[in-house]
Amino acid sequence: MFCTRLSLRLQSRTHVHSVSRHSVHKLASLQRASLLPPHKVRSLLYPFSELEAHLDRSVDRSQFKLFHPSLEDMMRAEKLFCSSPSHKIDYHVSAERMEHAPALKQPEVCFIGRSNVGKSSLIKGLFSLTPEVEVRVSKTPGHTKKMNFFRVGKAFTIVDMPGYGHRAPKDFVDMVEPYLFTRKNLVRTFLLVDGSAGLQRADLIALEMCEEMRRPYVMVVTKIDKCGHGMLLTNLLNLQDVVQTQTTSCFPQPFLVSSPQFWGIYLLRCFIAHVTGSVRLTDSAQS
């Protein structure tokens, strides 16, 4: 029922064209994703729903669903991720130092996390409706060496950051800290943590840095396709506990994603559109 309603709504509103030379993945848009069986659609849209069944009854689930937009909201947000002549999505520039960062007025969001956690892959997933925008990912940690700025029309900018930890650029701190602390148009920082590894020492240091920043940030749990429900829940509940007890500027709801499987991509697109003021939500969702 959920799936049929969703698919009917989507067919009349969303049009996705594949671009010559670059094909759009079949799950990149809600329209195509909605053709899957209902339980799969739910996991794609709201990945926490998949885990919920495995959670002990005593655990308060409300924190995991604070941001729970309607389908209409997700569809409106998705349109922002479709490039058009009047709304161009493109790679803009790379910067090695804050002084080289482009002067842009539109709101900005950035992705930070350990090297290899999946920052570039997540951005590639977000931009999967515009596959002509090249976002480089690699199996080798330390691949992204500079801050890479991507413009989403005049709506907002997304910044892919180099990773910290193993094989991180030597000047990571000199590059990233000044950006995080002084970038005026930065509206959200997304701190990525590997779902199968859980919070590592380096992540706790990054968390401290985010707290010192005194600006709102959000945790994203990546690679949720790679671990079983038990392991993921253990790591997620531990993360949740740290967020509740040790943070003041972190959004209480962690976002769960698998970039190659598209789980959580639509929800995150909607959250970014919301926090950058690009869509007004019809539902009551916090941020």
Ligand X SMILES: Nc1nc2c(ncn2[C@@H]2O[C@H](COP(=O)(O)OP(=O)(O)OP(=O)(O)O)[C@@H](O)[C@H]2O)c(=O)[nH]1
Q: Name the residue whose CB lies closest to ligand X.
A: 163
Minimum separation from the CB atom of position 161 to ligand X (A):
8
Angle 187-189-191 (CA atoms, 0-180°, nearest 5)? 165
Residue 128 binding: pick among Mg ion, ligand X, none (C-beta 5-8 Å cut-off by kind): none
Q: Are 202 and 117 in contact (CB under 8 A)?
A: no
Residue 226 binding: pick among ligand X, Mg ion, none (C-beta 5-8 Å cut-off by kind): ligand X
Based on the number of CB atoms within 10 Å of its own CB, is 269 exposed (0-12), middle (13-18) or buried (19 or more)? buried
Judged by CB under 5 A, the number of residues near Mg ion is 3
Which residues within the stretch 144-183 sit at the binding site for ligand X (CB under 6 A)?
Answer: 144, 162-163
Q: Segment near Mg ion (CB under 5 A), from 59-67, 138-146, 178-186, 207-215? A: 138-146
- The set of residues, in sequence order, having a beta carbon less than 8 Å from that of 84 and lying 6+ positions away, is none
DSSP-based three-state secondary structure for 110:
strand
Is residue 47 a contact point for ligand X (CB under 6 A)?
no
The residue whose two tokens read 């190659």 is: 260
Q: Are 266 and 279 in contact (CB under 8 A)?
A: no
Is residue 259 a contact point for Mg ion (CB under 5 A)?
no
Pattern 142-181, Mg ion, x by CB under 5 A: --x-------------------------------------
Looking at beta carbons only, is 74 or 110 nearer to Mg ion?
110
Looking at beta carbons only, is 115 or 276 nearer to ligand X?
115
| CA separation for the pair 224, 48 (Å, rounded) | 10
**82 residue type, one letter:** C
Q: Are 225 and 263 in contact (CB under 8 A)?
A: yes
Report CA-CA distances (Å) from 117 to 202, 257, 263: 12, 11, 16
Is residue 120 a contact point for Mg ion (CB under 5 A)?
yes
Looking at beta carbons only, is 90 or 225 nearer to ligand X?
225
Residue 125, token pair as written in the block: 């997933």
Residue 139, token pair as written in the block: 């199996």
Pattern 249-278, ligand X, x by CB under 6 A: ---------xxx------------------
Minimum separation from the CB atom of position 122 to Mg ion (A):
9
Pattern 94-133, ligand X, x by CB under 6 A: -------------------x-xxxxxxx------------
**15 residue type, one letter:** H
| CA separation for the pair 82, 29 (Å, rounded) | 10
Report the interface residues with ligand X, using CB under 6 A.
113, 115-121, 137-139, 141-144, 162-163, 222-223, 225-226, 258-260
Q: Which residues bind Mg ion (CB under 5 A)?
A: 119-120, 144
